[in-house]
């Protein structure tokens, strides 16, 4: 995210908030931020969960590529892709940028005081 923003001189729509730059040293650069997959999505699927084979939340759909528009009519995995934000990236940002540790603990079922 940082490199992409810097490659575009931190200008919209690639600008990152000031808080992201203030906490850059705190972020693990190896934390996955987003991923693509061949899920069958259509308009209105933004916010849908992505789960793995163990029924664990691994991401949240937020977009699709241009080729995914045909999925309204027919499924094809040859080029259509769904784009999701990775759950690890969400947790990393909540912890390190927004200092929302209580929320992360609640989301990850960590008991209070531990």
pLDDT one-digit tens code per residue, 32-86: 999 999 988 888 889 999 999 999 999 999 988 878 887 778 887 788 899 999 9
Q: Are residues 92 and 114 in the same domain?
A: yes
Q: Are residues 101 and 80 in the same domain?
A: yes
Could you tell me which residues are beta bridge partners of residue 29?
none
Q: Are residues 25 and 55 in the same domain?
A: no
pLDDT at 69: 80
Q: Give the predicted TM-score (pTM) of the model.
A: 0.82
Label residue 100 by pLDDT band (50, 70, 90): very high
Spell out the alpha helix ranges (H) of the chain: 2-7, 18-22, 87-96, 101-107
Q: Are residues 25 and 60 in the same domain?
A: no
Task: Give the domain range for residue 86.
Answer: 31-114
Q: Are residues 53 and 84 in the same domain?
A: yes
* Count: domains in the chain: 2
Distance CA 14, CA 40 (A): 27
**28-67 in b/e burial notation, b at 16+ Cβ within 10 A?**
eeeeeeeeeeebebeeebeeeebeeeeeeebbbbeebeee
Q: Are residues 59 and 92 in the same domain?
A: yes
Q: Are residues 71 and 94 in the same domain?
A: yes
Q: Are residues 24 and 57 in the same domain?
A: no
pLDDT at 112: 64
Q: Are residues 62 and 92 in the same domain?
A: yes
CA distances from 48 to 9, 45, 58, 61 (A): 32, 6, 11, 5
């Amino acid at each position: 995210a940082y490199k992409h923003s810097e490659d575009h001189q931190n200008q919209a729509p690639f600008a990152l908030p000031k808080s992201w730059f203030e906490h850059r040293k705190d972020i693990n650069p190896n934390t996955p931020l987003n991923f693509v997959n061949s899920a069958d999505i259509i308009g209105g699927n933004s916010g849908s969960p992505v789960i793995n084979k163990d029924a664990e939340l691994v991401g949240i759909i937020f977009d699709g590529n241009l080729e995914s528009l045909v999925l309204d009519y027919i499924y094809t995995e040859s080029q259509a892709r769904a784009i999701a934000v990775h759950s690890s990236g969400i947790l990393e940002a909540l912890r390190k940028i927004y200092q929302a540790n209580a929320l992360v603990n609640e989301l990850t079922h960590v008991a209070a005081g531990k």
